[in-house]
Amino acid sequence: MKDTLTIDTLTREDVTALIIAAKKRAGLSWEGIAETIGMSPVWTHSAAMGMNAMPKDKAEALVAALDLPTGAVDALTESPTKIWDQTVPTDPCIYRLYEIVGVYGPTIKALIHEKFGDGIMSAIDFDMRVERIENPKGDRVQVTMSGKYLGYNAW
């Protein structure tokens, strides 16, 4: 049955649901899946959730690792339409990240402009790590983001 599902019957949303179910069923972590396919956990999760297209070899590795239908490869390699809910999130973890950008976004922008000039940090040429830092007062979450600086063109 697994090979009877094709791209014609398998949507990107279907593939995401299959990935989540297979991950849970196998008791895997995103770190473990990422290591298996040779990518970072952040990128792997983002691509699995439909926010990035996977190169064919990574999609094939993910499909094999999670025993997904072969039609999932085509869905995973499609260029995504990156649509997310623009309302204030209610999930506490996501809301706090939203709050950080709301409170510190203008500060981050000002410091980028001071250090680099008028421009942005790329979210295309970008990487991110999420780490746990042990602390006697309570463990800390460290999010490290790195994006290429892109100056605005003047014409």
CATH number at residue 45: 1.10.260.40
Catalytic residues: 96, 99, 122
pLDDT band at residue 110 using 50, 70 and 90 as cut-offs: confident
Give the tens place of pLDDT for each residue, 115-148. Answer: 999 999 999 999 999 999 999 999 999 999 999 9
Does residue 16 sit in the same domain as residue 52? yes
pTM, to two decimals: 0.74
- CB atoms under 10 Å from CB of 49, counted, come to 14
8 A C-beta contact, residue 58 and residue 37? yes
Does residue 14 sit in the same domain as residue 64? yes
Q: Which two tokens stand for residue 38?
A: 């040779």
Residue 51: DSSP 8-state: S
Q: Which two tokens stand for residue 96?
A: 């706090």
**Does the pLDDT value for residue 103 go beyond 60?**
yes
Does residue 10 sit in the same domain as residue 71? yes
Average pLDDT along the chain: 90
Which stretches does DSSP call E strand in 40-139? 119-133
8 A C-beta contact, residue 42 and residue 127? yes
b/e map of 100-130 (b: 16 or more CB within 10 Å)?
Answer: eeeeeeeeeeeebeeeeeeeebeeeeeeeee
What integer pLDDT is reported at residue 132 of this predicted model? Answer: 97
Does residue 68 sit in the same domain as residue 96? no
**Does the pLDDT value for residue 25 go beyond 60?**
yes
Q: Is residue 110 part of a domain?
A: yes
- CB atoms under 10 Å from CB of 39, counted, come to 20
Does residue 38 sit in the same domain as residue 96? no
Does residue 73 sit in the same domain as residue 8? yes
Give me the amino acid identity at 14. Answer: D
Which residue is listed with tokens 């460290």? Answer: 142
What integer pLDDT is reported at residue 1 of this predicted model? Answer: 43
Domains identified in the chain, total number? 2
